[in-house]
Amino acid sequence: MALLSQRCCQSASARENGWVNRTYAESAGGRRGVGGTVAGGVNLLALRSHNAALVLDLLRTAGESGISRLELAERTGLTPQAVSKITARLRADGLVTEAGRRASTGGKPRTVLRLVPGAGHAVGLHLDRDELRAVLCDLTGAVVAERRAPLDLGAGADAVVEGAAREVEGLLAEVAEVPEVAEVAEFSGVSEAAEVGEVTEVGEVTQVEPASVPAPAGVPVPVPVLGVGVALPGPLDHLHGVLHRVTGFPEWDGYPLRDALARRLGVPVVVDKDTNAAALGLALGGAVEDAHGSFAYLHLGTGLGAGLVIGGAVHRGARTGAGEFGHQVIQLDGPPCGCGNRGCIEALCLAAVARGDTAEAARVLGAGAANLAGLLDIDLVLLGGRTVAAQPDSFLRGVGAVLGARARREGSTTAVPVRIAPGGARGVAEGAAQLLLAPLFGRAEG
């Protein structure tokens, strides 16, 4: 497995690493909301990684048609000289290439640059209670390969970590055999095999320094990999990658999943709740038109949770506790829930689904959605998860009816809209890959 170096965004200090976190990006001169105007760059050496991220993000959103250096300077607020230096580094690292020339209003035609999607990849790993899904995404977030396998989250930490690691290795081995992907790896200058070395913490990522070992002749060249994003049911500590009492599986409490998987695979690992990962992917995909819009992603599968995007950024809370939507009590002395309470929305929804009463499950889910709309004044509700996917129209009608009734009671002419989240069954896994990809573009929170 080849570990993709982040040379284009690195300096001697840990803060200059390519993993740009939200706090640093904001202090560096603003942040970019979903689909919004790029925050202005700052011409200081200490902000080199921030400026490179701004440029990379514009190249990403420009697509195959590309963007000129002059346009990059205008949209970032950087000087043309600074943009030239940044793009030169990006081209040297194989992340950017020329996309032709474009006529200008005067003088010679402008050279257009574009991102090289295959110059880097991230693995997104969704660990559900009974199933594992792994996807490999390129720098644009497009899925290159995918694997699924049964999973028993209660089988014990060692068994789950080993099974997950084998699926990731199998995924990467399959892609390494594809000639065009291998060619991209060679073009990017990343043909070393990663071995487990010193493990250190950089922001929210466990960084594993790989040993540089040339790939043997005749062996498929591994694709350049930024790392693995892991999404699974909470509660958990996103900052340290440690699980808490996962609902239904209290034996995971205190387990350092991030570090364990990073040591096993020899690549950086980020861990987050499944709903947060999905919300991040949706935010980057433009789920709301407003750059600073807010929405709730409600995921009903083997459990029920919410991912919250407020003001254009994923809201995790101080302890990754935000979005425990399924465990709000709406029926005192109701049926017991796996969390230890009674009358939780999750317990009521799953019970209704189990007896085949989808209309009741949708009504209960709608009651929770209405609570969120009242508390947070969100712009949109998105529904996802395998249970919703089985009968999407029923859930749309049921949740929409409750939100509509709430709007009428308040005298509003419009209700909070509700839609099925794009991405389907692999939406969480794709969002998990964005846990690694988004920071490269200065979009760690969306």
Model confidence, pTM: 0.82
DSSP 292-347: T--EEEEEESSSEEEEEEETTEE---TTS-TT-GGG-B-STT-SB-TTS-BSBHHH
Note the pLDDT of residue 25. Answer: 33
Note the pLDDT of residue 193. Answer: 33
d(CA 44, CA 77): 13
Taking Cα atoms as reference points, which of 35, 34, 40, 33 lies closest to residue 55?
A: 40
Express each pLDDT in 154-202 by its tens digit.
999 999 999 999 999 999 999 886 555 554 444 443 333 333 334 344 3
Note the pLDDT of residue 162. Answer: 97
Instruction: Assess contact for 132 and 146: CB atoms under 8 A.
Output: no
Q: What residues contact 188, with CB distance under 8 A and at least 6 apart?
A: 4, 93, 94, 95, 116, 118, 119, 120, 224
d(CA 152, CA 163): 10
Q: Which residues of the chain have pLDDT under 70?
A: 1-48, 105-107, 177-221, 291
d(CA 343, CA 346): 8
% of the chain at pLDDT higher than 70: 78
Instruction: Assess contact for 372 and 325: CB atoms under 8 A.
Output: yes
